[in-house]
Structure 1
């Protein structure tokens, strides 16, 4: 079966990435100018958006459901956010009220519980509870911060399920089988264009990849369905409990043989008779009961911080290394505040140790900080902290260590022995298909505060929507094999690009630096690298001029959009997207305006190398 390659040219602006994917988690921003236009709210770009990263762009199905709720329960001048539980709705209201007060715009925020039942009482569909947070429209930007920072909003699949249950709504997309894609009704719709199959493209030249197009009618029905459902078609929602069990076991590393088949009840890896052994995560006693699932990676981070706040005496946190932006926002806006060590280098550990000594001298009866949050390696500079030294400080000064291993991933690195909590965005390479969100939190049973942390997780609330879990379980079955292929591709591409950089002493090079764990703080990375592990699929590039950055990005024939860890290569001008309103601040920590971040996929290595060579030639031409 030949799978079509998708268009990556200018005509894809604002479309779902991957294409034809109803619940895609990225969006096509194919040129540097498009990314700047997105950040500046340019009408040309905004009006083209039919998709986006879920915490920043509210999916059309969620918008539709919110509009129905506003019409049904709202009053004039109100907007709403939709939550999966009363607990989350309460947390949302507390945040909005608090932040509005800080902004000197006190606001009344109210909650509505909406129980949606199937029209047919004999239906196998189950009722759902929707918790609606209403607030004045003028504080919508504050309310959206909760949605963005916590990752606790409802998913697009949950919204579609609610819409299906509501009387009078379109019943053409029932979730049986779940996730059936909605294809365009008009074959002339430019939003749904795909590339000619790779087999039809001459191997010697890929410069015209974005020009070869065919309409949806040229796709076989089974192919178009495959694009959204992957392997997950016809999975009943009743199998969700087995899917979640399989996910927890996979993440805990306790499956002796990860059975990739489905049985009568659901995924075999989640059944009682599957063979379980000691964990391969570096801490043998880790079990599936130490793994907790969340609807997004940010929800896992936010809940890890909340867990620290509940389990330990109040104090500031430390953010060590330059993190993904919302991690820092969580530490700033909840709890006692944060000390930020943005470079994440050895000299920062020296400064941190001095801080810990000073704080301990002030009050020896309590830990100087609550917890240290760090990424291994960091996004986007791929720096790996000296996690051994950080752990030694944690033991000495009695604080928690929370490590985000999303970029490194547990196929490549072993960080759990050095952390009290490990958080992971499952939406990234663990899924790979970029069509489902998810996050995990793992508590280390050998950690000093395991008993306290575990006891406070007794109030854990499973808000991971069943259908999202079904897709995540299916997507992740070949996780290890995909990581190996991606690692191999990334290492070859980085070797090629670094050989053309000023970092390697090439005087006329337009590439300044290749940020990749093999070259960036390699000693720290190697200490945690598994024997069969690689260096991951993410790297970043800086250039000798902004013009070279733009030329390279625009010429690179791959998908362009936010997110990472996809099975296909995905590029973005990271600093423009993440820090456009704070470029000078980011530059202090080495995050240059012209930085381009690449998430390498599973394409043929030779084709990838040829594509990056084309982009490099364009960058070199811009310099001349």
Structure 2
């Protein structure tokens, strides 16, 4: 396994891939506060620099190029497209677009024309790879914002690896995908009917890496980041090296990789170490009772998805399909798209955005009131994060479980931030969802999500039957291969990251207003208002769910790798963020430290609204990595000094 060191390297250039030199990176460098604001405002300087981005917000350049080709083949002038991996997803996209257009007050006509085209692309006889199937949603260009909403909210994305495979079979150059500002020149060929022709290529290569950054700043980083030279190899060489030296399973073993993932998530692998990876998905794997805190969980209770958000969307669709339809509850301030899903599909939701005990009191009042006027359960489901992003609040899950049993509704828990190495939430949930793209992967080079059913849940039989009838595996095989590789040592990585994060948070809190206000007057300016971390935020609820030692019964699960900081002034927030010597960009749960001004990125158009729920405009969210702890602490001290230096200027 890799080690981490303090290295000399430069600040990642604006718009470059994070991690650097990674063709399928899931983050992008936004290194200054001004860059983040510029991104939200669509500033040309920022938008033109971007070659990467979080996949649900930034459509990968290979996908953009493939979409342009599909538009040329099957579209008419004035049409744009969205690519989907299955027919059902394409139909869901069309239904969503038509529904939102009908509800909209904008000039988009309610008679919006949205068409679907199936495009099958097969290799030639010299390539033994499988055919690829695309489902193209075509619509007027001015309706693209509706399509993009579907892409973002549901996470039902076409994989960038699938796009590269298609481009290779179409004999298109994938080393330099078309820029969003420089679309592919329209083809002179006449459009062809879907299914009429097969296109092929013998191999395909990774796209060229971004320009190597200049060495301008000391920073802490992880040698888990791929070496630049690795990305310069063509795809055949990389595949050979990965498979020959035991890093990746071969692509033909995708089914075994998915079994290994499902067993890993179910917690049933008796032996699951990096040296045993080759048998984790095989029939000879040693399986035992689940470590998820619920007896009887098996790999058959685990379902894989293309992204964490598609797992959340699918959980909501599952609830709508298996239970009497009613409003849901969003408990606590969630990651933005979870709330959008509950609002835009189905009859809506009650938003209890603080996620505190007083909100459970309000929930009880809602349940009592609604139960008196309805013959069906008063609510459909309750969605909550454990802990929440970005305030790191933990709900009182035992109390919520009692209400769910009394009033007959489902509980869906997103465990992405806590993760099942640290917390046991399945005993209190009917459904547990997670973004595997985060700490489960760690390498930030592949997307994925999971959904787990609680076999002891009151509605398990109905939920399992509905999944059996409706679930389709749209998780691209090559993504599953990479996710399997990345996750082999996730337990070891989580322990390192937990310890690093606690050390950083204790240091920052010791210099914060939260501690200084209860001790002697500080001898230095106070820049940090508070440190939001489960160690101090709603600890009584978080501790109820911490994984415990099976012998002593004492908590052994950590507090996770994510925390947020609030500051005593906006200028202090900006100074801290700009001076922090780590990678800056969206996402979390990476093996390297990654920071972002969360409210700016997630709620720029609604900052006052977010602040009303406790998410201040100056909040900085940090995901801590596996770097050497001394280097981490020195880096945060450097940033803290920069923040403290601007405090006198604000007085």
Structure 2 length normalisation: TM-score? 0.88
Change in Cα spacing, 1:394 to 1:129, as seen in structure 2 (3 Å) is same
5 Å matches for 1:528-567? 528-531=545-548, 532-567=556-591
Q: Aligned match of 1:289 in 297, 300, 305?
A: 300
2:5/2:627 contact within 8 Å kept: no
5 Å matches for 1:430-449? 430-449=440-459
Structure 2 residue aligned with 1:85:
86
2:16/2:29 contact within 8 Å kept: yes
Change in Cα spacing, 1:162 to 1:407, as seen in structure 2 (3 Å) is same
**What is the deviation of 1:556?**
0.3
Q: Please give the per-residue CA displacement for 1:206-245, whole angstroms capped at 9, x wherever unaligned.
A: x931699xxx9x9784586699989676642111000000
1:431/1:472 contact within 8 Å kept: yes
2:588/2:623 contact within 8 Å kept: yes
Counterpart-to-counterpart distance in 2, 1:341 and 1:234: 44
Q: Secondary structure at the match of 1:557?
A: coil
**What is the deviation of 1:183?**
3.5
Change in Cα spacing, 1:612 to 1:406, as seen in structure 2 (3 Å) is same
1:261/1:268 contact within 8 Å kept: no
2:386/2:414 contact within 8 Å kept: yes
Structure 2 residue aligned with 1:36:
37
Structure 2 residue aligned with 1:199:
none
Change in Cα spacing, 1:511 to 1:322, as seen in structure 2 (3 Å) is same
2:119 paired with 1:114: yes
Counterpart-to-counterpart distance in 1, 2:542 and 2:203: 40
CA RMSD of aligned residues (A): 2.7
1:178/1:235 contact within 8 Å kept: no
**What is the deviation of 1:10?**
5.5
Counterpart-to-counterpart distance in 2, 1:543 and 1:4: 30
Change in Cα spacing, 1:170 to 1:538, as seen in structure 2 (3 Å) is closer
**What is the deviation of 1:268?**
1.2
Counterpart-to-counterpart distance in 2, 1:370 and 1:574: 30
**What is the deviation of 1:8?**
7.2
1:297/1:424 contact within 8 Å kept: yes
Higher mean displacement: 160-169 or 413-422: 160-169
**What is the deviation of 1:193?**
2.5
Structure 1 residue aligned with 2:286:
275
Q: Aligned match of 1:576 in 589, 594, 600?
A: 600
**What is the deviation of 1:505?**
2.1
Counterpart-to-counterpart distance in 1, 2:633 and 2:219: 17
**What is the deviation of 1:533?**
0.8
1:315/1:370 contact within 8 Å kept: yes
Change in Cα spacing, 1:165 to 1:234, as seen in structure 2 (3 Å) is farther
Structure 2 residue aligned with 1:491:
502
Q: Aligned match of 1:412 in 422, 439, 444?
A: 422
Change in Cα spacing, 1:321 to 1:298, as seen in structure 2 (3 Å) is same
Segments of 5+ residues of structure 1 without an aligned counterpart are 196-206
1:7/1:194 contact within 8 Å kept: no
Segments of 5+ residues of structure 2 without an aligned counterpart are 178-199, 549-555
2:10/2:214 contact within 8 Å kept: no
Change in Cα spacing, 1:347 to 1:384, as seen in structure 2 (3 Å) is same
How many residues align structurally? Answer: 599
Change in Cα spacing, 1:179 to 1:328, as seen in structure 2 (3 Å) is farther
Structure 2 residue aligned with 1:615:
639
Counterpart-to-counterpart distance in 2, 1:524 and 1:224: 48
Q: Aligned match of 2:145 in 132, 138, 141?
A: 141
2:268 paired with 1:254: yes
Counterpart-to-counterpart distance in 1, 2:606 and 2:570: 17
**What is the deviation of 1:103?**
1.1
2:336 paired with 1:325: yes
Counterpart-to-counterpart distance in 2, 1:331 and 1:209: 44
Change in Cα spacing, 1:45 to 1:6, as seen in structure 2 (3 Å) is farther
Change in Cα spacing, 1:67 to 1:224, as seen in structure 2 (3 Å) is closer
Counterpart-to-counterpart distance in 2, 1:280 and 1:465: 27
Change in Cα spacing, 1:136 to 1:10, as seen in structure 2 (3 Å) is same
Structure 1 length normalisation: TM-score? 0.91
Change in Cα spacing, 1:176 to 1:509, as seen in structure 2 (3 Å) is farther
Q: Secondary structure at the match of 1:12?
A: coil
Change in Cα spacing, 1:8 to 1:310, as seen in structure 2 (3 Å) is farther
Counterpart-to-counterpart distance in 2, 1:293 and 1:445: 17
**What is the deviation of 1:2?**
8.9
Counterpart-to-counterpart distance in 2, 1:511 and 1:559: 20
Q: Aligned match of 2:212 in 182, 189, 192?
A: 192
Counterpart-to-counterpart distance in 1, 2:220 and 2:319: 52
Structure 1 residue aligned with 2:183:
none
2:70 paired with 1:69: yes
2:5/2:628 contact within 8 Å kept: no
